[in-house]
Amino acid sequence: MYSRFFAVVAPLLFSPMAFALDCDNASDQATMNQCAAQQHAAADKELNALYQQITARLKGNPDSKQLLVGAQRAWVAMRDAECKFAASGVEGGSVYPLIYSNCITELTKARVQTFKNYLKCQEGDMSCPVPGG
């Protein structure tokens, strides 16, 4: 399902028009869908940057790094399944990309916050899985 969503939205993300969208005043479904996709892409980019910072801090601890990789894969699967379910009431409709993308964005933002908290760990904090930087 996600691949179908991406196949529909990806060309819109990379078109020159995508950068000229007025998302604050979007009034048609296509524009709202494009704006939601852009928000998702921005949240995903931030998540990936934070993930890279965490993996860099874990370079000396391969066991912890492996646990993070497993946790992140499980989280992505959960996020995608949850959002597919959350948007299932409108599957096949023009609003589906908006509902699905908004769900993905909100869950990604929550994960971003979790990663930010990991990166704030102080040296010696035994309850934190990421060493201080």
Residue 97 belongs to a domain: yes
Q: What is the pLDDT of residue 30?
A: 86
Residue 125 belongs to a domain: no
Residue 2 has pLDDT above 50, yes or no: no
CB 54 within 8 A of CB 114: no
pLDDT digits (tens, 9 = 90+) for 30-89: 888 898 889 999 999 999 999 999 999 999 999 999 999 999 999 999 999 999 999 999
Count: domains in the chain: 1
Residue 121 belongs to a domain: no
Residue 123 belongs to a domain: no
Residue 122 belongs to a domain: no
Cα first-last separation, the chain: 39
**CATH at residue 79:** 1.20.1270.180
Q: What is the mean pLDDT of the chain?
A: 86
Closest Cα to residue 54, out of 65, 44, 45? 65
pLDDT digits (tens, 9 = 90+) for 81-97: 999 999 999 999 999 99
pLDDT digits (tens, 9 = 90+) for 117-128: 999 988 788 888
Residue 88 belongs to a domain: yes
Residue 52's domain comprises: 2-16+32-116
Residue type, 7: A
Residue 18 has pLDDT above 50, yes or no: no
CB 111 within 8 A of CB 47: yes
CB 112 within 8 A of CB 47: yes
Residue 23 belongs to a domain: no
Residue 112 belongs to a domain: yes
Q: What is the pLDDT of residue 33?
A: 85
Q: What is the pLDDT of residue 28?
A: 87
Which has more confidence, 106 or 13?
106
CA dihedral angle for residue 109, residue 111, residue 113, residue 115, rounded to 10 degrees: -140
